[in-house]
Amino acid sequence: MTKKTYANPVLTGFHPDPSIIRVDEDYYMVNSTFQYFPAIVISHSKDLVNWKIIGHGITENDGLDLSGIKDSHGIWAPDISYHDGMFYIFATHRLNGPTVINGKKLIRRQIMMKSNRPEGPYSKPVFIDEGSGIDPSHFVDDDGRHYMLLSPGCTLFPLNDECTEIIGEPALIWEGTGRRAPEGPHLLRTNGYYYAILAEGAQATPTPSRPPVPSNCTVHMSRVRIIRF
């Protein structure tokens, strides 16, 4: 057997918050782009090591205008998923500050776009305004029902079939282990179990009353057989 090696990071430079899926023999990745445009870079690989940019999730200003967005705001932590011939991208849009939209005071909005081609073009972003969560991900259960997960913890929101609207009450299915800043929730189902996954212990933003705390981020998993709303 030929021994193969590679050097980390496999992608240098500006590729934060990677989300990767495998469809057949191909891997696809999306990354945060914050205030930069075009938004949500999409890359392709055959081996998880060699990557090539193939498109962007948002390429038109009328889909989502990022002009005037402050540094490190904008598009956070996109998630790419695939179901029944369709690619979905969910992400958080961080606003510059509290903004009243449709009667709600929001600082973050969740967005969703989809395409039948991984490189796009993708549909215009649809806003799913649940409140103030972050790090959305997409889960489709065995019965075909769609859900959005958000932090804090693993909070599950039932969606309509088009993934454009919340259609029921959310359920906090796992709070995590109790460490700081549970985020990045994902849900998988295999062999009769649901597996909830999230990260904890991230760097807390220092304030005058809260000094910097060293980051000690780890990933945790929990499993159950039944999720009840």
The mean pLDDT value for 3-11 works out to 88
- The answer to whether residue 119 is domain-embedded is yes
CB atoms under 10 Å from CB of 163, counted, come to 21
pLDDT over 80 (residue 94):
yes
Report, as residue numbers or ranges, the catalytic residues.
Answer: 17, 183
Taking a C-beta distance cutoff of 8 angstroms, is the pair 114, 87 a contact?
Answer: yes
Is 158 a domain residue?
A: no
109-158 pLDDT, tens digit each: 999 999 999 999 999 999 999 877 899 999 999 999 999 999 988 999 99
Task: Establish if 71 belongs to a structural domain.
Answer: yes
Does 157 fall in a domain?
A: no
CATH of the domain at 69: 2.115.10.20
Instruction: Over range 167-178, report the average pLDDT.
Output: 89
The Cα–Cα gap between 119 and 96 comes to 29
Contact (CB, 8 A) for 110 and 75: no
pLDDT digits (tens, 9 = 90+) for 45-81: 999 999 999 999 999 888 788 988 999 999 999 999 9
Residue 74 structural domain: 1-132
Task: Count how many domains the chain has.
Answer: 1
Taking only the tens place, the pLDDT of each residue in 125-136 is 999 998 778 999
- The reply to whether 173 falls in a domain is no
